[in-house]
Structure 1
């Protein structure tokens, strides 16, 4: 089992921390205090970015040394929110948060995943009535294999996971966040995920 640092202690971070702990991993949660985040990142093999996407780049770039050689699992979507607090537009049009993080952290293996669903689905994919899809984007095949194992611990069978390729493909999955406000307004805040039907 791995030592994992979860950066962000909101609903997403708390949900993942509990599930990974139940799976037997040693999990440390870093909140808003830079010192605790740096300390937890330094000691971990895998760091999960569950911080708000509009501030993730600044927060994680400040941890460049602590994240050197680590796997950074990026779950966040960087958006500009509308008046109702729901995503209205992308913060990095023509790019993605994952790409920005990889550029800022060249010695870190960034893997984008679990950003195309509401947070309860991340740790309970089988609870949906239809099979969801989790996507992987990243430059390191080895890092993606490690993340695939983590997804398995969270209840994702390998056949429910699609590797899209390099980190540039994250701009496609991050753009899917623009579906979210419309789906929520249409059907309420019920768990859902993007799924590839074949």
Structure 2
């Protein structure tokens, strides 16, 4: 059992919190209030960032002391929205939210994952007819092993998980969000994930 705090009570945060609780972990959640977020992360071994990506850096930097020595699982994408509310561009071109978080939180071990799919697939990858892929980006091998175990608890098979390397590789997976609005406009909110086939 791992002590986990999920920041963000929207569809993504709620689904992850419910699934991790069902898997036997001790899970707390917090919304946007700074005091509640600080209390939620203070005793957590793992913190999941499911806050809106355009404000994640500011929110989490304010929790720097509370996040010290924890594993931060970043599932958010930092984007600028088009007129229809769907992602239109990256907020940090030439970088990534995960990189910005790691720079701002040097004592926190940031791992980027679960950001290349529609949210229902995060906690139920077997719902897809094909074989989905999920990616890991981060500097700390032990942190990535912990996240691999959590992914397994969410139903991700070992062979579906690809470690891309250091935190800089999150630029690639975060850029994949730019596919999403076009897929949604053509297919609707049908669950999907990227898939690497060899």
TM-score range, shorter chain: over 0.9
Q: Residues 37-186 of structure 1 correspond to what in structure 2 (within 5 A)?
A: 37-186=37-186
- Deviation string, structure 1 residues 110-162 (Cα, Å, up to 9, x no partner): 00000000000000001001011000000000000000000000000111000
Aligned to 1:172, what secondary structure does the other structure show? helix
Q: Distance in 1 between matches of 2:194 and 2:19?
A: 21
Give the drift of 1:43: 1.1
RMSD of aligned residue pairs (Cα, Å)? 0.4
Rounded to whole Å, the distance in 2 between the matches of 1:157 and 1:38 is 33
CA offsets 1:43-62 (integer angstroms, 9 cap, x no match): 10000000000000000000
| Structure 1 residues not aligned, in runs of 5+ | none
1:32 is displaced (CA, Å) by 1.1
Unaligned runs of 5+ in 2: none
Task: Classify the secondary structure of the residue corresponding to 2:38.
Answer: helix
Match of 2:34 in 1: 34
Separation of aligned partners in 2, 1:184 and 1:160: 23
Segments of 4+ moved more than 3 angstroms: none
Query: What is the TM-score with the length of structure 1 in the denominator?
Result: 1.00
- Report deviation, 1:197: 1.0
Q: Counterparts of 1:34 and 1:148 in 2: how far apart (Å)? A: 29
